[in-house]
Amino acid sequence: MSFVPLGLHADILRGIEALGFNEPTSIQKDAIPPALQGRDVLACSMTGSGKTAAFGLPILHRLMSGSRHATRALILTPTRELAAQIEEHLGQLAQFTKLRAKAVYGGVGMFPQEQALKRGLEIIVATPGRLLDHMRMPYAKLDKVEILVLDEADRMLDMGFLPDIRRIMERLPRQRQTLLFSATLPGPIKALAKELLREPANVNIERKAMPATGLTQAVYAVPHHLKSSLLTALVREGKARSVLAFTRTKHRADRLAQFLERQGIASARIHGDRTQAQRTQALEGFKKGRYRVLVATDVAARGIDVDELELVVNVDMPREPEDYIHRVGRTARAQAKGDALTFVSPDEEQGLRAIERAIGAKLPRLTLEGFDYRQAAPERRDHPRGPQAHGHLAHGHAPRRDEPRREHRHDGRPRHQHDERPRRVEWPAQAPNEGHARRRFERAEPAQRNEHVELHERHRRPEAATGETRPWARPEGDRKPAAEQQGRPGHVPFWKNRKNKPQRRAHAPHAVNG
Sheet containing 293-296: order of strands: 267-270, 293-296, 243-246, 311-314, 338-344, 215-221, 365-366
Domains 4-203 and 215-366 share a fold: yes
Check whether 145 has a pLDDT greater than 70. Answer: yes
pLDDT digits (tens, 9 = 90+) for 386-396: 444 444 444 44
Topology annotation, domain 4-203: Rossmann fold (3.40.50)
Q: For residue 342, what are the β-bridge partners?
A: 219, 314
CA 270/CA 457 separation, integer angstroms: 47
Closest to 452 (Cα-Cα) out of 416, 418, 486? 416
> What 8-state DSSP symbol labels residue 383?
S
E strands, 24-176, where?
Answer: 41-44, 73-76, 101-104, 123-126, 147-150
Reported confidence tier of residue 310, pLDDT bands at 50, 70, 90? confident
Average pLDDT over residues 112-118: 92
pLDDT at 465: 46
Check whether 400 has a pLDDT greater than 50. Answer: no
Average pLDDT over residues 108-129: 92
CA 397/CA 440 separation, integer angstroms: 10
CA 338/CA 332 separation, integer angstroms: 5
CA 1/CA 22 separation, integer angstroms: 8
Q: How many other β-carbons are positioned within 10 Å of the β-carbon of residue 248?
A: 16
CA 161/CA 371 separation, integer angstroms: 45
CA 181/CA 154 separation, integer angstroms: 9
Mean pLDDT, all residues of the chain: 79
Structural contact between residues 121 and 102, judged by C-beta atoms closer than 8 angstroms: yes
pLDDT at 445: 62
Check whether 127 has a pLDDT greater than 80. Answer: yes
Structural contact between residues 377 and 254, judged by C-beta atoms closer than 8 angstroms: no
In this prediction, what percent of the chain has a pLDDT beyond 70? 69
pLDDT digits (tens, 9 = 90+) for 30-52: 999 999 999 999 998 776 678 89
Check whether 234 has a pLDDT greater than 90. Answer: yes
CA 399/CA 388 separation, integer angstroms: 6
- CATH 3.40.50.300 is the classification of domain 215-366: yes
Average pLDDT over residues 265-270: 93
Burial of 159 (0-12, 13-18, 19+ CB in 10 A): middle
Least confident residue range of 103-112, 293-302, 443-452, 492-501 = 492-501
Structural contact between residues 55 and 86, judged by C-beta atoms closer than 8 angstroms: no
CA 91/CA 85 separation, integer angstroms: 10
CA pseudo-torsion sign 482, 484, 488, 489? positive
CA 17/CA 11 separation, integer angstroms: 10
pLDDT at 104: 95
Average pLDDT over residues 66-86: 90
Structural contact between residues 472 and 431, judged by C-beta atoms closer than 8 angstroms: yes
pLDDT digits (tens, 9 = 90+) for 467-480: 444 444 444 444 45
CA 470/CA 269 separation, integer angstroms: 52
Reported confidence tier of residue 346, pLDDT bands at 50, 70, 90? very high
Least confident residue range of 137-151, 216-230, 306-320 = 306-320
CA 314/CA 327 separation, integer angstroms: 8
Structural contact between residues 322 and 209, judged by C-beta atoms closer than 8 angstroms: yes
Reported confidence tier of residue 512, pLDDT bands at 50, 70, 90? very low
Q: What are the residue boundaries of the structural domains of the chain, listed by start?
A: 4-203, 215-366, 422-461
Structural contact between residues 149 and 76, judged by C-beta atoms closer than 8 angstroms: yes
pLDDT at 237: 87
Sheet containing 73-76: order of strands: 101-104, 123-126, 73-76, 147-150, 177-182, 41-44, 201-203
Average pLDDT over residues 339-348: 93
